Structure 1
Amino acid sequence: MDKRLLDILCCPVSKRPLRTLKSGELEILNAGIEKGQVQNVAGEKLSQRVDEALVTTDGKVVYRVDDGIPVMLPEQGIGTVQFNEWPASP
């Protein structure tokens, strides 16, 4: 992800800045998707692995990046409260 783009993006709901999802967080997300346990804010179950994503700096909402394009629709956000093992925010 282009750093200049990342610097201007923010969560459309909370307006918090975003950062790139770390590899360990991505593994947790994809493990949940593979088990059929992950839903987006709209309540839709996710079935496809995520290769790249952004997360709010408080670690509460994840947004997919599809083909280099951040999907910043509020209903497409993925709440991290559904993951028991999600790391605490720095």
Structure 2
Amino acid sequence: MDKRLLAILCCPVTHQPVTPLTSAQMESINRAIAAGDVQQSDGTRLSQALQGALITRDGQRIYRIDDGIPVMLPDEAIATDQLKAFPA
């Protein structure tokens, strides 16, 4: 992801900066998606693994990246509190 774009992006709900998920975080969320345990804020259950994602500074919300474009929509955020043993 372009560092200039990353520098200006923030969570639309909390206005916190976001950073890319670590490889451990990406593996963890994709395992949970494969198990059918992940929903977006709007209640939609995710069925496809994430190719990339951003996480808020407090680690509470994840926003997916589709085809290199961050999807920064509050309804499509993923709350990390639903993920068991999600790495900090």
Place the TM-score, normalised by the shorter chain, in its bin.
Answer: over 0.9
Task: Number of aligned residue pairs: give it.
Answer: 88
Instruction: Report the CA distance between 1:48 and its aligned residue.
Output: 0.6
The aligned residue for residue 60 of structure 1 is: 60
* Structure 1 ranges of 4+ moved more than 2 A: none
Q: Which amino acid is 2:51 matched to?
A: D
The aligned residue for residue 25 of structure 1 is: 25
1:2-27 Cα offsets, whole Å, 9 max, x none, are 00000000000000000011000000
Instruction: Report the CA distance between 1:87 and its aligned residue.
Output: 2.2
Distance (Å, rounded) in 1 between the aligned partners of 2:6 and 2:45: 27
Distance (Å, rounded) in 1 between the aligned partners of 2:62 and 2:34: 17
Distance (Å, rounded) in 1 between the aligned partners of 2:26 and 2:87: 11
Instruction: Report the CA distance between 1:84 and its aligned residue.
Output: 1.8
User: If the length of structure 1 is used for normalisation, what is the TM-score?
Assistant: 0.95
- Structure 1 gaps of 5+ residues are none
Q: Which amino acid is 2:85 matched to?
A: E
Give RMSD over aligned pairs: 0.6
Distance (Å, rounded) in 2 between the aligned partners of 1:77 and 1:87: 18
User: If the length of structure 2 is used for normalisation, what is the TM-score?
Assistant: 0.97
Distance (Å, rounded) in 2 between the aligned partners of 1:84 and 1:29: 9
